[in-house]
A and B are shown apart, each in its own frame.
Chain A
């Protein structure tokens, strides 16, 4: 992120903020029939993306400015719901922690897991912050706040963030497609859509059986939270499993890199991977054996060169030389050559 100049960063953040604000205005007018306070805000992915890609400041500007722009379209002035504008700023700023963690590109399962955690955190903490201020200033009841503000926003924002932010980052080239990341992407989307389907099915069936008038929203939100917990557990398990798949592959690629750099002594390093009872274990074992063979051969040859003795039999050489030089032909030649050289000089 260092090379992206700050002026350009802020420019991008302002543009993104305006887009975010317009989307906020549009989405605030579209409500699900019958549920006046569920607002679907896929655009929440935008400040999150800006935070990850351009850093916390850009994320904050996008979120905060966007919120103000949205209100401005509704004719509301600066003082209105300022706490929610700051909260929106935090939604963009929190994922910017990626750059504090020195992650400049998502290239490992750990980086990717960090991204997901930050997206979830950004969907939750800022809303808690803004709501807490609402509770204090507007004296809303806690239960009411949780069920009418925090939970609906948290569930929808988290789901949209988890679905959309990785896509934006892939488009921006911020995610490197390592084997680990591919596996994680696969499991994230599989789990996400599985959990989402279950959630929607149960929500719709509840709606169908009770009707919108008597529908108990808190049940739906509880199921939503439960779904997110299930999703979180599923993702944690898959992160651990993917790491188990990927770690030995990384060991192998590191070993291969070392070999090309001329270090063949890898048996100790590959020992653990080679013990695995699967394809990778087999690959590591073969690889380790091959590297070992090359290493031994190389060492043997090196030793041979070190021990290389150039032996010349001096007496034999003298005899051979005199056989050549002690001839009339040679003596003549020598004189002639000398004459020729002297003539040249």
Chain B
């Protein structure tokens, strides 16, 4: 059965887009058909990690929500350009990053039902095993919808007091939406943090499993969202953690 997975964080800049892209690539390398959809309509970003720009995007998620195209028409296959040597496939459904489109979306809004319809159609027409949703930080309506439709919610947080409070809210809200599976991923942990210690602390506080603790990585930082880290550094410890998280999603 196909799985819808939301990757979320209460605050911005936690590493949602990078985590989504890496996990998607790992799943595709494991011969799964994977879709990645950017529902961060206000501040889209994941297309950059896949190296997409205005020239190679014709339709985006926005066009589907405005009824201009079918959702598959906004899906761009990345399998070849990432050189994934597997029978898996990877599709990206970007959100438009033209400022006009973003402004119009914010101003006019869109039909939420259409978004959930879009997820369903996408899974069906591309015959996906996994649909990964890269969300906007905070708990706006499309994020709530994504969480509600998800089989698995991955909440990313940094070990930072500003993140702890918001994560508590997200966990509580997701519980009320009865998301079948919810896990936390700690990102950008300083190297001195002993993993086991932090993990138990966070698991007790939120009463929710921690899928992994990713240290703050100079290499990831230096890549500057210019590519998919796990493909570039397959032996890196951070890649190993991404793999473990992906394995938990496969279940």
Contact = CB atoms under 8 A, between A and B. Distances in A.
Interface of A: 298, 301-302, 304-306, 308, 310-313, 316-317, 320-321, 324-325, 329-330, 333-334, 336-338, 340-341, 344
Contacts of B198: 305, 308
A282 to B, nearest CB: 30
A325 B176 contact: yes
Contact of B172 (A305, A321, A334, A344): A321
B5 interface: no
A317 B1 CA distance: 35
A312 B148 contact: no
Nearest to A320: B169
Contact of A312 (B139, B145, B164, B190): B164
Contacts of B231: none
Contacts of B149: 337, 340
A308 to B, nearest CB: 7
B159 interface: yes
A324 B144 contact: yes
B165 A317 contact: yes
B193 interface: yes
Interface string B49-78: 000000000000000000000000000000
Given A310-B164, A310-B205, A333-B148, A298 B192 contact: yes
A334 B176 contact: yes
Interface residues of B, number: 28
Nearest to B113: A336
Contacts of A341: 178, 180
Contacts of A325: 173, 176
Contact of A305 (B139, B173, B177, B193): B193
Nearest to B204: A310
Given A324-B144, A333-B148, 11 more contacts: A308-B159, A308-B198, A308-B201, A311-B161, A321-B173, A325-B173, A333-B144, A334-B177, A337-B177, A337-B178, A341-B180
Contacts of A317: 165, 168-169, 172
B198 to A, nearest CB: 7
Interface of B: 1, 139, 141, 144-145, 148-149, 159, 161, 164-165, 168-169, 172-173, 176-178, 180, 190, 192-194, 197-198, 201-202, 205
Contact of A313 (B144, B165, B190): B165
Contacts of A312: 164-165, 168, 205
The 10 A-B pairs with the shortest beta carbon distances in the complex, nearest first, are A337-B148, A301-B192, A321-B172, A312-B168, A320-B169, A317-B168, A310-B205, A333-B148, A310-B164, A305-B193
Contacts of B141: 329
A70 B176 CA distance: 100
Contacts of A306: 197
B168 A305 contact: no
A324 B192 contact: no
A330 to B, nearest CB: 7
Nearest to A308: B201
B14 to A, nearest CB: 16
A301 B192 CA distance: 6
A313 B164 CA distance: 10
Contacts of B145: 333
22 contacts: A301-B192, A305-B194, A306-B197, A308-B201, A310-B201, A312-B165, A317-B169, A317-B172, A320-B169, A321-B176, A324-B139, A333-B145, A333-B148, A334-B176, A334-B177, A334-B178, A336-B148, A337-B148, A337-B177, A338-B178, A341-B178, A344-B1
